[in-house]
Amino acid sequence: STASGADGLVTAGGKENKYQMTLYDPSGYRDKMCGNAIRCLSLYYVKHGFDKDEVEIHTDDGLKIIKIVSLDPFQVKVNMQSFDWDPIKIPAITTLSKIHNEKFILNNGLIINYSAIKFGPAHVVIFLDQIDEKKLLEIVSQINKPSLFPEEACYNFAKIIDRHNIELKTWERGIGFTLACGTGSCATAAISLIDDLTDNKVNVHQALGTLTIEKIDDSYHMQGTAAYVYTGEICID
């Protein structure tokens, strides 16, 4: 969540399939995928009589397979599939066939390297030696341009601890800095593996906790928890 409220709205089920996830961010934008949301939805299904170990969830980003690892404490593993380099899919405006370790010069002259992929939402991954939120916001304000990312993007600022651990801070499109991001963790783990900074299984440490991302064959699997905060009812005429 953020200081201003919830991270987004998830609806569970649809006319054709009860195992369906539809996601809206706080601005009202219908987003394709959220790693945190699908873990929360998994817990919701468990709390409402779900008695299977594994099931396919229909999302706007395709089928995602959830596997309940344990109930107490609650742990779920989600096959998040893979990412797309194609700038058209991200979308990003560039003549490059993919955006990988490209350079961006900040106003103060500092040069940063960034990569961009579609992993659910558009994700930019930037590796830094230190995670300073004020400095990160300056980077976002300069690089998050319609001329590069016409629909904006999420920005993942990562610090490599060792080959099995990453510290991560994510600025999410339409929200701002959040306490955790599931798809951002997957995107960061994918780029760090490609750049040979980490192994194929890595713990991504965020303010709200840790996710484990593992590449198995061509898919990235996210394992983590979810927790109930409260339950309420809204009457809609």
Active-site residue set: 34, 181
CA angle 125, 87, 35 (to 5 degrees): 50
Q: Where are the beta strands (DSSP E) in 40-79?
A: 54-59, 62-71, 74-79
Residue at token pair 């396919």: 56
Residues in the chain, total: 237
Neighbours of 145 (CB within 10 A): 11
Distance CA 212, CA 224 (A): 7
Give the helix ranges, DSSP H, for the chain: 35-47, 133-143, 182-194
Burial of 80 (0-12, 13-18, 19+ CB in 10 A): buried
CA 42 to chain centre: 16
- For residue 188, give the nearest of 224, 216, 159, 161 by alpha carbon: 159
Closest to 120 in 3D by CA, of 89, 97, 149 = 89
Burial 51-62 (b: 16+ CB within 10 A, else e): eeeeeebbbebe
